[in-house]
C-alpha cells in the first residue's frame, strides 16, 4: 500500500474511496490510517465508518471519526498520524 501511495498516479479516493471502504470493512487499521491521508471516510454516506462498526472493528471506526491516533510503522521509524 505504501508503494502504491508513493506513486502520484495512484488515487486512493477513486470510486468514492473504495479502497478505504474495503480496508475498513476488513478492519485493516494500518492500511486505513495510510489511506486517510488521501481519501475520505465520508464518501458514499460514511460507508467506510459504517462497515468498520458493523464488523466490530471499533478501533478502525474510531480512527476514521478522529477519536484515535494511528500508529503507522515506516521503514525505519514509527510515526503518529493525528486526524
pLDDT at 26: 97
Give burial (CB, 10 Å; 0-12/13-18/19+) of 76. exposed
pLDDT in tens, 23-60: 999 999 999 999 999 999 999 989 999 999 999 999 99
pLDDT at 62: 92
Query: What phi-psi label fits residue 74: left (phi over 0), alpha (psi between -120 and 50 degrees) or beta?
Result: beta
Q: Above 60 in pLDDT, residue 77?
A: no
pLDDT at 69: 53
For the chain, report the end-to-end CA distance as a whole number of angstroms. Answer: 19
Higher pLDDT, 82 or 67: 67
What is the rounded average pLDDT for all residues in the chain?
Answer: 84
Amino acid at each position: 500500500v505504501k508503494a502504491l501511495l508513493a506513486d502520484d498516479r495512484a488515487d486512493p479516493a477513486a470510486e468514492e474511496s473504495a479502497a478505504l471502504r474495503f480496508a475498513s470493512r476488513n478492519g485493516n487499521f494500518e492500511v486505513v490510517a495510510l489511506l486517510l491521508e488521501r481519501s475520505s471516510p465520508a464518501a458514499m454516506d460514511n460507508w467506510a465508518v459504517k462497515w468498520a462498526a458493523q464488523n466490530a472493528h471499533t478501533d478502525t471506526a474510531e480512527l476514521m471519526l478522529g477519536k484515535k491516533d494511528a500508529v503507522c510503522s515506516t521503514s525505519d521509524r514509527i510515526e503518529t498520524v493525528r486526524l
